[in-house]
């Protein structure tokens, strides 16, 4: 069985000091101008001393892609200095810094995007109906009038967004990040294109599963092109995905198997599944109803590392998660509860597994207020 406290080396030769990474979590805590706040910097630094890498909360790549209040931005060069501060805070603790990049699509509240112009793969209701087991990230609840819809992107606009993912990758490189994670999960724009529930297009971006994969794959290609132009092989590129959706015409695990099989050949350094619990089993799948991580790891067959995630609170949870065979494990809510989880596991110390609001866990005030207003809630718990 893998010891997750031992170093891990990616196929590009970059080494992490251990196999635990901090999962991306929304903090709602950016400054009013969407630059990173001092509270967020302290939050990231506090959690950077144990894990091998920190994946940040998602930064939006176009002005129409902002998905929730208090989100730090990456869509213009004016934000490079802000992004740099986050990378520097993470590096202080010795962890690798990975910037998650995304577009909210129909999850973007109308009041947060220019002219209220919410976009998606198709003309579809603006709603927040995250896929079951979706994520450690909880999007902001969208308040809209009944019948309000996002509009379908034009082909030209799709290409502009593809380029925007590349430009934000360039900014991450200039800001000193060790990599980026393309956010293709949690019902945001990339998943909206991949899912036949939200993608009703009849052009080259919709219909068959191959066409529905086109937009995410074009983004992967563009991010890798920018990497080749501005960085070197040491720059990490990952991709996060959600395995299934509950809707009848939503994503099945059979769909995800095809996507993951394709992504594993796309010069990515890792794939990152989005789950609420690492123990979860396949639900809509033609094969054996096994653990989702185990199924997808078999599909990947060692081509790229897979990050497993979900409800790893205790040492016993970690031991069980190891049995899935994921090369890396992400910790999300666990690092809110116990910022030094990895260090304490390594030292054999007792781990706190439930949120204690009386402890100073270096959590930004806006996030703390959300927790206090909803007893028992932490990001990811529905």
- Indicate which residues carry an active-site annotation: 188
Q: What distance in Å separates the CA atoms of residue 207 and residue 211, rounded to the nearest whole number?
A: 6
**Cα separation, 242 vs 127, whole angstroms:** 18
Beta carbons of 283 and 244 less than 8 angstroms apart? yes
Tokens 């190891």 label which residue? 322
Two structure tokens written together for 207: 């219909």
Count Cα atoms within 13 angstroms, Cβ side, for 340: 14
3-state class (DSSP) for residue 165: helix
The pairing of beta strand 149-152 with beta strand 119-120: parallel
DSSP string for residues in 338-378: -TTHHHHHHHT-----S--TTS-----HHHHHHHHHSTT--
**107 pairs with which residues across the strands?**
none
What count of other Cβ atoms lies within 10 Å of the Cβ of residue 210?
11
Do 324 and 297 form a contact (C-beta atoms < 8 A)?
A: yes
| Beta pairing partners, 101 | 59, 182
């Amino acid at each position: 069985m893998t010891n997750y406290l031992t170093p891990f080396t990616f196929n590009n030769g970059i080494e992490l000091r251990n196999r635990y990474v901090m999962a991306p979590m929304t903090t709602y805590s950016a400054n009013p101008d969407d630059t990173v706040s001092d509270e967020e910097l302290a939050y990231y630094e506090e959690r950077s001393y144990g894990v091998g890498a920190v994946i940040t909360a998602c930064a939006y790549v176009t002005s129409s892609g902002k998905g929730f209040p208090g989100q730090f931005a990456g869509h213009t060069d004016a934000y490079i200095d802000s992004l740099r501060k986050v990378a520097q805070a993470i590096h202080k603790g010795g962890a690798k810094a990975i910037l998650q990049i995304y577009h909210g699509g129909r999850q973007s509240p109308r009041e947060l995007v220019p002219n209220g112009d919410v976009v998606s793969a198709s003309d579809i209701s603006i709603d927040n109906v995250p896929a079951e087991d979706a994520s450690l990230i909880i999007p902001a609840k969208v308040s809209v009038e009944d019948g309000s819809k996002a509009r379908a992107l034009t082909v030209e606009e799709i290409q502009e967004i593809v380029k925007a993912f590349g430009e934000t990758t360039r900014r991450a490189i200039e800001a000193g990040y060790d990599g980026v994670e393309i956010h293709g999960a949690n019902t945001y724009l990339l998943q909206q294109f991949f899912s036949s529930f939200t993608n009703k297009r009849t052009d080259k971006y919709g219909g068959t599963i191959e066409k529905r994969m086109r937009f995410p794959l074009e983004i992967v290609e563009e991010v890798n092109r920018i990497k080749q132009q501005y960085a070197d092989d040491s720059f990490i590129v990952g991709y996060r995905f959600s395995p299934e959706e509950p809707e009848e015409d939503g994503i099945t695990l059979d769909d995800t198997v095809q996507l993951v099989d394709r992504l594993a050949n796309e010069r990515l350094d890792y794939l990152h599944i989005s789950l609420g619990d690492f123990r979860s089993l396949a639900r809509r799948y033609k094969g054996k109803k096994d653990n989702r991580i185990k199924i997808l790891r078999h599909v990947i067959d060692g081509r790229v590392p897979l990050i497993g995630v979900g409800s790893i609170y205790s040492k016993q949870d970690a031991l069980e998660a190891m049995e899935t065979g994921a090369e890396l494990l992400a910790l999300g809510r666990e690092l809110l509860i116990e910022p030094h989880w990895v260090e304490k596991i390594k030292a054999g110390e007792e781990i706190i597994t439930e949120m204690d609001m009386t402890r100073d866990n270096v959590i930004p005030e806006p996030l703390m207020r959300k927790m206090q207003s909803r007893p028992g809630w932490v990001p990811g718990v529905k």
